[in-house]
Chain A
């Protein structure tokens, strides 16, 4: 067994939480190598060498990897990847984009959103928007696993891995990067935040979402949204929590004006404590919430913000 983890790096910046939790999931099976591919690797590779359970960090510094285009990985790294038995990546937009393409190249299935590693060929993953959990056994020679990182803890920074420089020859002639529009935000990242405040359709408009953001900022929290709120244009898609958005498991999740559709619950029900505010006492969100308040959010949320 030889395990490789694809570190998520965007323009030289390591997605530390995602990468560390992916290493942690992979380390269930043994020591791992981590591929650190980006336009600038020095910072990222330094951080990865300190992660426990990492044996080697394969450093590939090339502009080709600045924007994590799938073709850059699949066309140039396939021989490196082929020498491993297990490839792990976070099931973020990074991993979901790249890993199945590698699967297509290797003629191997991808095992998406793995929530538990049972053995070297058996894994658990949610299906049907989290309405069921499947245990699957892979018969592929090379197993490709994307990790639902919220189900795993980070690895401690007690490692002392060796870095090895590697090269790649071919170029990506298929896709070209044009631009990124990444919202600059002082708020913590949604998937790794300790506290998340989310708004749903009940918030009513994009302008009203400021109420949610105000409470979030007071709590030092990340802002989330239900699919209904995103669908209605109240919030950007990268705030979406749920089966088709992000999966979060913070210490505290505050759901405001969210009815609690199953697809939303699939994205947050592993939170430690769930607080729900909704004016409809029948809302399904109250069946999973530890603490509920039946009240008008427009009255309650500003008052809560004031009192905290």
Chain B
């Protein structure tokens, strides 16, 4: 079985996003970029499935600018076997919509024939939480979102999902698209020897046109602005004052 793992290059989660003064978006010039944390969890899970002997090959895919190479090298160093870079734009500020990403991934899936696609549940930049579901619909595959546990069986994958109020377990027929949540695992760090080895692993570069996919944008971003902020309030002297404030505002 082959597993496909899409990985997105995003603003590092430790870096505060700054809104550009002209309202055109978030400033991504000269800031640290990293692999989307949820995609790291997806990749880690794919590696664990392979280590258990349930998969033979892991293909990492990234879609975006040329520099996404770095993200793919990280994926290869963690344990992906090969990588595909889809160079879809030359401007890092041009975010590619989940629907287009799903179209590109669907085309790659036709070509590569994976049986399982593991995605992060959302990218921490646009926060759409949509690619896995859209891809699964495009392929007419089964979907299991927000996974906190994944068991690959013969012709199905048993997934425990994080839902409001608790957990839901479902069986998804293979081939399947699974999106992963925070508690699934803790991703490993790539070791230095593996980082060196990753440099020799294959990384193929293609364009959306090579896959016959048209780049479209359905949502026009009219403005990006700072959120309304709250003012800092009072620091209270003692617990009694706090109790008073809580009592004033309960049921208020």
A274 to B172, CA, bound (A): 42
B235 engages A294 (CB within 8 Å): yes
Q: Is the interface of A mostly helix, strand, loop or mixed?
A: mixed
- Shortest distance between the CB of A116 and any CB in chain B (Å): 11
Interface bracket on A: 35 or more
Query: For residue B225, which residues in chain A have a CB less than 8 angstroms away from its CB?
Result: 132-135
Query: Does A105 touch B at the CB level, under 8 Å?
Result: yes
Query: Residue B162 contacts which of A102, A238, A300 (CB distance < 8 angstroms)?
Result: A238
**Considering the chains assembled together, what is the distance between the CA atoms of A148 and B182 in angstroms?**
21
CB of B230 within 8 A of CB of A269, answer: yes
Is B62's beta carbon under 8 Å from chain A? no
> Taking the nearest CB of chain B, how far is it from the CB of A107, in angstroms?
7
Q: Contact at A175–B168, with CB atoms within 8 Å?
A: no
**In the bound complex, how far is the Cα of B70 from the Cα of A169, in angstroms?**
48
Does A134 lie within 8 Å of B130, measured CB to CB? no
Q: Is the CB of A126 within 8 A of B227?
A: yes
Residue B89 lies at the interface, judged by CB distance under 8 Å to chain A = no
Evaluate contact between A133 and B143: CB separation under 8 angstroms.
no
Distance between Cα atoms of A236 and B170 in the complex (Å): 19
B110 CB → nearest A CB, Å: 15
Interface range on chain B (Cβ under 8 Å from partner): 35 or more
Are the C-beta atoms of A291 and B242 separated by less than 8 Å? yes
Query: Does any Cβ of A come within 8 Å of B226's Cβ?
Result: yes
Question: When the two chains form their complex, are residues A103 and B26 in contact, meaning their CB atoms are under 8 A apart?
Answer: no
Interface-facing stretch out of B42-50, B95-103, B195-203: B95-103
Contact flag A110-B98 (CB < 8 Å), given A104-B135, A127-B224: yes
Query: Could you mark each residue 222-252 of chain B with 1 if its beta carbon is under 8 Å from any beta carbon of chain A, else 0?
Result: 1111110110111110111111011101111
Whether the Cβ atoms of A109 and B218 lie closer than 8 Å is: yes
B210 to chain A: which residues have CB within 8 Å? none
Q: Chain B 53-87 against A: per-residue CB contact (8 Å), 1 yes, 0 no?
A: 00000000000000000000000000000000000
B243 touches A304 (CB 8 A): yes
Between-chain CB contacts (< 8 Å), 14 pairs: A128-B26, A129-B127, A132-B226, A133-B224, A134-B221, A177-B168, A177-B169, A183-B165, A238-B163, A244-B182, A275-B245, A286-B235, A290-B233, A304-B246
